[in-house]
Amino acid sequence: MTTPQREGTTPDGADTPLRLGTRGSALALAQSQRVANALTAATGRAVELVRIVTSGDTSAAPVQTLGVGVFVSALRDALSAGEIDFAVHSYKDLPTAPAPGLHIAAVPAREDPRDALISRGGLRLSELPPGARIGTGALRRIAQLHALGLQFEVVAIRGNIDTRISRVVGPHADLDAVVLARAGLSRLGRNGEIAETLDPMLMLPAPAQGALAVECRADDADLVDLLAVLDDPATRAVVAAERSLLATLEAGCSAPVGAYAEIAEGDDGDEIYLRGAVIAPDGGHDVRLSRTGRPADAVEIGKALAADLLDAGAAGLWTAGAAAAQPPNGTTPTASPRTAEAHVTGSTQ
Ligand SMILES: NCc1[nH]cc(CCC(=O)O)c1CC(=O)O
């Protein structure tokens, strides 16, 4: 089924630029342009960027109060309405619920999924003194910073990447450091400013961090086929494992959940190694577990690891902690000692 005005349906359709809907942020423009260039290079099709304003761009409210998918819904509406032909999302910002009528036609090769520290004077995490003020908006990062037990003061911030870096560098700096996704910095050409790339042992990334999702209408068969050229099956598999873990936990993108899958060559074929973590927002307790399996079983591995985490008491960590921590609009207290009263004793394997 096609609509009459859709690109590519007429004999001269191959000359009509495909309309790629994008947010207007520097990051969104950079990653959309990159995908547009890759598609044109691989297929010869011209692509034009169409800017879509989302409620997440115009609101100053903390992202937790805006809800998951706020950056995504305006793009998806434009896609469903036929105003654009496809969209590029930061995969970690996509809600885990499927979008009716839409299809993720490609998951390009992932960039470095780790978090990165930008700090005044280029200090590493271990060099920052007790009481150092570290900015981040994500509950997952807040929780894992507290869990280090280094007595950092974690300051809830939001805004685009440039705004967040300006809290550390430049005339209006009021923080000692910020934690950001390395992938976003590298897409903006700013990873030269990174003081330290954080080891996933300490700071497990968000599910699907560093990956992109290229989405079009499910019934746009020609475009589904065309976009498949951008797909990287290994990235698709690791992201499927991480997001299946998140979906099974029924946690949103703002939950204190980390997940990171890697593919390694095993003795008889490739293996997925999936790590998952749920951390109480005050960092006092966490559950960290892992599983391995076949890439073809990515979704089942994620489900099974989520079940393991829940069996180990993960649910109590974020429901109990979320009420206590109150992240945005201020600071969260430094971690309570690991012996503090808690509903669950997490393992820390
Ligand atoms: N939540 C915002 C967001 N969504 C995607 C990225 C860039 C990295 C990526 O694609 O995962 C960022 C910025 C950040 O977390 O620092």
* DSSP, residue by residue, 77-144: HHHHTTS-SEEEEEGGGS-SS--TTEEEEE-PPPPP--EEEEEGGG--GGGSPTT-EEEE--HHHHHH
346 Cβ below 6 A of ligand 1: no
Give 181 Cα–ligand 1 centroid separation in angstroms: 5
Task: Assess whether 130 and 178 both reside in one domain.
Answer: yes
198 Cβ below 6 A of ligand 1: no
Task: Assess whether 328 and 257 both reside in one domain.
Answer: yes
Answer whether residue 304 shows pLDDT above 50. yes
Is the residue at 349 inside a domain? no
The amino acid at 11: P
Eight-class DSSP state of 74: H
Q: In this predicted structure, what is the pLDDT of residue 347?
A: 28
Task: Assess whether 244 and 326 both reside in one domain.
Answer: yes
Is the residue at 256 inside a domain? yes
Burial of 66 (0-12, 13-18, 19+ CB in 10 A): middle
92 Cβ below 6 A of ligand 1: yes
The amino acid at 15: D
β pairing state of 177-181 and 133-136 = parallel
Say which residue the tokens 């990235």 belong to: 235
Task: Assess whether 174 and 128 both reside in one domain.
Answer: yes
Tell me the percentage of the chain whose pLDDT exceeds 70: 81
Task: Assess whether 250 and 325 both reside in one domain.
Answer: yes
Question: Backbone phi, then psi, for 198, in 5-degree steps?
Answer: -85, 130
Give 138 Cα–ligand 1 centroid separation in angstroms: 10
CB burial readout 336-348, b (16+ within 10 A) else e:
beeeeebebebee
Burial of 8 (0-12, 13-18, 19+ CB in 10 A): middle
Q: Residue 127's domain is classified under what CATH number?
A: 3.40.190.10
Single out the residue of 172, 147, 167, 169 nearest to residue 155, CA to CA: 167
3-class SS at 195?
coil
Task: Assess whether 141 and 288 both reside in one domain.
Answer: no
Ligand 1 mutation target, pool 93, 111, 115, 164, most atoms within 8 A of CB: 93
Q: In this predicted structure, what is the pLDDT of residue 54?
A: 66
Q: Which residues contact 15 (CB under 8 A, 6 or more apart)?
A: 46
Is the residue at 347 inside a domain? no
Is the residue at 167 inside a domain? yes
Domain containing residue 134: 115-197
Task: Assess whether 223 and 257 both reside in one domain.
Answer: no
Say which residue the tokens 């559950």 belong to: 287
Is the residue at 202 inside a domain? no
Q: In this predicted structure, what is the pLDDT of residue 309?
A: 96
User: 109 or 9: which carries more pLDDT confidence?
Assistant: 109
Q: In this predicted structure, what is the pLDDT of residue 253?
A: 53
Tell me the pLDDT tens digit for each residue of 35-77: 999 999 999 999 999 999 866 666 655 555 555 466 789 999 9
Contact status, residue 338 vs residue 284, Cβ threshold 8 Å: yes
| Domain count across the chain | 3
Task: Assess whether 322 and 248 both reside in one domain.
Answer: yes
Is the residue at 3 inside a domain? no
Single out the residue of 215, 225, 212, 252 nearest to residue 78, CA to CA: 215
Is the residue at 206 inside a domain? no
pTM score, whole prediction: 0.86
**93 in catalytic set:** yes
* pLDDT band at 159; cut points 50, 70, 90: confident
* pLDDT band at 158; cut points 50, 70, 90: confident
Task: Assess whether 326 and 190 both reside in one domain.
Answer: no
Q: In this predicted structure, what is the pLDDT of residue 226?
A: 98
Query: For all residues of the chain together, what is the average pLDDT?
Result: 86
119 Cβ below 6 A of ligand 1: no
Task: Assess whether 37 and 61 both reside in one domain.
Answer: yes
* pLDDT band at 250; cut points 50, 70, 90: confident
Q: Which atom of ligand 1 is nearest to the CA of 63?
A: 1
Distance CA 80, CA 84 (A): 8
Task: Assess whether 119 and 190 both reside in one domain.
Answer: yes
Q: Residue 246's domain is classified under what CATH number?
A: 3.30.160.40
Catalytic residue, from 12, 15, 57, 93: name it. 93
DSSP string, 40-65: HHHH---EEEEE---HHHH--S-HHH
Contact status, residue 292 vs residue 234, Cβ threshold 8 Å: no
Is the residue at 1 inside a domain? no
90 Cβ below 6 A of ligand 1: yes
Task: Assess whether 245 and 133 both reside in one domain.
Answer: no
209 Cβ below 6 A of ligand 1: yes
Answer whether residue 3 shows pLDDT above 90. no
Among protein residues, the one with the nearest Cα to ligand 1's atom 9 is 210
